[in-house]
Structure 1
């Protein structure tokens, strides 16, 4: 199954099972790319949020006019920070951002529960590395990518290029079939060698 990819300079479509790395500066405006990715050619999507709470994710979707009825949110922050949580059928929680097993389990449940075109975003891998060991995060991303393949879904994974050394950026970059590089001026360049 092919998915339309509404990102400037990227291929028009990518096949199911494709993971895309979004490299961005630490202050980069990623919301526009993220929401266009989620809103296009999608039946259901999952936002794995390690950077903002579910409430903030909902505000972002509303601001960018993304159909919230298609959304599920995995909030990794609220439990650990002691925020009040309102569980709904579309909002899920894990105990903390370093609960990688919980993130993988919730992602599998989401993908098992929905047919059709499904997408996910991980916002962000950088935040996961703050909370958990880099090797463990790497292994978890490998697992997430294998879930995309198993369920014919696609995913967008945020990584802030400025806060990691070149070796770390390159290590994660090599995992993905495509890379979208957002610079400080908002310019986008793309590499999809296995898709083009």
Structure 2
């Protein structure tokens, strides 16, 4: 199964099982790329947020006119920070941003419960590494990429280059089929050479 991409500089389609890394200098322009990824050629999608709360994710989806009926949100921040929260059919929580097993289990359940074209956005791997450490974040990404491959889904993973050294960025980069490199001016340089 192929998935359409509507992101500048990327192939028109990628096969199911593809993991995409969004490398960025700051969070400014990532929302546009993220929402373009989520609203194209998708039956259901899951946003895993280690950077913002479910309420903020909903505001982003609404602002960029993404169909929220197809959305599920996994909020990893609200419980640990003591924010008020309301679980629903589409908003779920884990105890803390470093609850890797809880995050992976929820992704597994989402992919298991839905049919058709499924996408996920992980915003952000940098925040996950901040809370859980870089080694555990790398391991978590590998586990999630395996799930995408098994279920013919696709995922976009946000990584800010600034907090990580070059070797760590290269380790993350090596895990992915495609890399979207976002410049500060909003231009995109994409490398999809691993995809035939």
TM-score normalised to the size of structure 2?
Answer: 0.99
| Alignment correspondent of 1:16 | 16
Matched, 1:75 2:75: yes
Q: For residues 44-99 of structure 1, what are the alpha-carbon distances to aligned partners after superposition, in whole Å with 9 as ceiling and x for unaligned? A: 00000000000000000000000000000000000000001111100010000000
- After the TM superposition, which residues 99-118 of structure 1 pair with which residues of structure 2 at under 5 Å, given as runs? 99-118=99-118
| Alignment correspondent of 1:174 | 174
Deviates more, 1:114-123 or 1:129-138: 129-138
SS at match of 1:74: strand
Structure 2 unaligned segments of length 5 or more: list them. none
SS at match of 1:17: coil
Structure 1 residues 147 and 85: CA distance shift in structure 2, 3 A:
same
Query: CA-atom RMSD, angstroms?
Result: 0.7
Q: For residues 114-147 of structure 1, what are the alpha-carbon distances to aligned partners after superposition, in whole Å with 9 as ceiling and x for unaligned? A: 0000000100000001100211111110000000
Q: What is the distance in 2 between the residues matched to 1:72 and 1:51? A: 16
- After the TM superposition, which residues 2-13 of structure 1 pair with which residues of structure 2 at under 5 Å, given as runs? 2-13=2-13
Matched, 1:93 2:93: yes
Deviates more, 1:145-154 or 1:129-138: 129-138
Structure 1 unaligned segments of length 5 or more: list them. none
- Structure 1 runs of 4+ with >2 Å offset: none
Q: Give the count of matched residue pairs.
A: 196
SS at match of 1:185: coil
Q: What is the distance in 2 between the residues matched to 1:4 and 1:116? A: 14
- The question of whether the paired residues in 2 share the 8 Å contact of 1:26 and 1:163 is answered with no
Report the CA distance between 1:27 and its aligned residue: 4.4
TM-score normalised to the size of structure 1?
Answer: 0.99
Q: What is the distance in 2 between the residues matched to 1:26 and 1:188? A: 14
